[in-house]
Amino acid sequence: MTVETAPAPAAPAPAAPARRGPTLPSGSVITTFLVLFLVVAAVSVEGFASTRNAGFLLLDVVVIALIALPLTLVVVTGEIDLSVASTVGLSSAVMGQLWIAGLPLEAIVPLVLVLGGVLGAVNGFLVTRLGLPSLAVTIGTLALYRGLAFVVLGDQAVADFPRAWTTWAISSIGSTGIPTVVVPLLVLVVVTAVVLHATPVGRSLYAMGNSEDAARFSGIDVARTKLWLFVATGVVSALGGVYWTLRYGSARADNATGLELQVVAAILLGGVSIFGGSGGLLGVIAGALLLASVRNALQLVNVPSDVLNIVTGVLLITAVVAPQVTARVKGRLARRRPAS
């Protein structure tokens, strides 16, 4: 599989063996699914279609979507970073500890972002310089960073952040119900989408995901690019940690525990191949929104949380299995056609 031939903004459907006729842009299936679900839920679930509920729903998606942005790029290159939620927790803990120490928030925030960059660089270094598998490395740092978070803040909670900051974190634009933070998030979405889909750098990520050797022979500095992707993921996760702390008004070492699975779920549901090389950002955002909307709608009709987890799991497996099955069926049909 070579990637240089792929159409710029539209990566092919995951693992489609034969590219015949027009292919749908990646993510269009999940986006259609999202729109359908929103319509059905708005009609049938009482209280779903209201500005207040939209605000609640979007607030729950913000951090997941935020971290999914750089992580999508990482996954496209065929790597993974499972330490993102622990980076959120450690950033939150450090933010709390620095706040106790009397530093101003205006200084704490950049310091925490630098810390995130360092944490990401550690992952990147171990993966690209020592050649360790990113799955193993980041499972390790998942435990390591969470452990450090508890060393930093223990089991205490720091909660006396200024009201102006914490209310901003959950404020909405006028009476629309849309959280204010959606605006900076959208800016980041656009920037990331442009980088991934419309620059040579972005295209080179797909090349790496498909064949690292081929990418290297065509002059791409694979190691350096991946290192910086891990750094970017660390910085953005730290930003997520800052936002999480303000949104809940509480800095804690156990903040965002398990969030990495929700982020990875959104990415996979959005049609990004876990093996790298395909997928797009539109699908990922749609995936994050779909997961949150399904949970929200089911909660509104009083479905217990255990069942919610089952539904999320089934949805995810379907999303990962469905393209493989379609590809296989298509492949079989294509082979049969000339014979008949």
Partner 1 sequence: MSLFLTSRRLRGGLTGVAVAAVVLTTAACGGTTRGEEEGSSSGGDAAGASADPDAEIPADLAIAFLPKQLNNPYFDVAAAGSERAAGEIDGEFSQVGPSEASASSQVSYINTLTQQGADVILTSANDPNAICSALDQARSGGASVVTFDSDTSPECRDVFINQATPEGIAEAQIDLMAEQIGGAGQVAILSATANATNQNTWIELMTEYAASEYPDLEIVATVYGDDEDEKSFQETQGLLQTYPELKGIISPTTVGISAAARYLSGSEYKGRVALTGLGTPNQMREYVQDGTVTAFALWNPEDLGYLAAYAGAALAAGQITGAEGETFTAGDLGEYEVGADGEIVLGEPTVFNADNIDDFDF
Binding site for partner 1 (CB under 8 A): 46-47, 50, 52-53, 56, 60, 99-100, 102-107, 110-111, 113-114, 117, 157, 159-160, 162-167, 170, 191-192, 194-195, 199, 201, 221, 224-225, 228, 232, 244, 248-250, 252, 254-258, 295-296, 299-300, 302, 304-306, 308-309
- State the minimum distance, in angstroms, from the CB of residue 102 to partner 1: 6
**DSSP labels, 239-254:** HHHHHHHHHHT-B-TT
Give the integer Cα–Cα distance in Å for 86 and 241. 9
Nearer to partner 1, 29 or 252 (CB): 252
The sign of the CA dihedral 266, 267, 269, 274 is: negative
- State the minimum distance, in angstroms, from the CB of residue 23 to partner 1: 27
Residue 172 CB partners (closer than 8 Å, separation 6+) = 55, 178, 179, 180
Nearer to partner 1, 28 or 299 (CB): 299
Nearer to partner 1, 211 or 250 (CB): 250
Residue of 232, 187, 224, 225 whose CA lies nearest to 206: 225
Q: List phi, psi (to 5°) of 158.
A: -100, 125
- State the minimum distance, in angstroms, from the CB of residue 111 to partner 1: 6
Nearer to partner 1, 139 or 159 (CB): 159
- State the minimum distance, in angstroms, from the CB of residue 228 to partner 1: 6
- State the minimum distance, in angstroms, from the CB of residue 334 to partner 1: 38
- Given the structure tokens 């989408």, which residue do they identify? 193
Residue 325 CB partners (closer than 8 Å, separation 6+) = none
Nearer to partner 1, 130 or 164 (CB): 164
- State the minimum distance, in angstroms, from the CB of residue 106 to partner 1: 3
Euclidean distance between the first and final Cα of the chain, in Å?
A: 28
Give the integer Cα–Cα distance in Å for 246 and 192. 24
Q: Where are the alpha helices (DSSP H) in the chain?
A: 28-44, 51-76, 84-100, 105-124, 134-153, 163-170, 182-198, 200-210, 212-217, 222-248, 259-269, 281-300, 305-339
Instruction: Determine which helix (DSSP H) or strand (DSSP E) holds 38, and give its type and residue range.
Output: helix 28-44
- State the minimum distance, in angstroms, from the CB of residue 221 to partner 1: 8
Nearer to partner 1, 116 or 287 (CB): 116
Nearer to partner 1, 29 or 88 (CB): 88
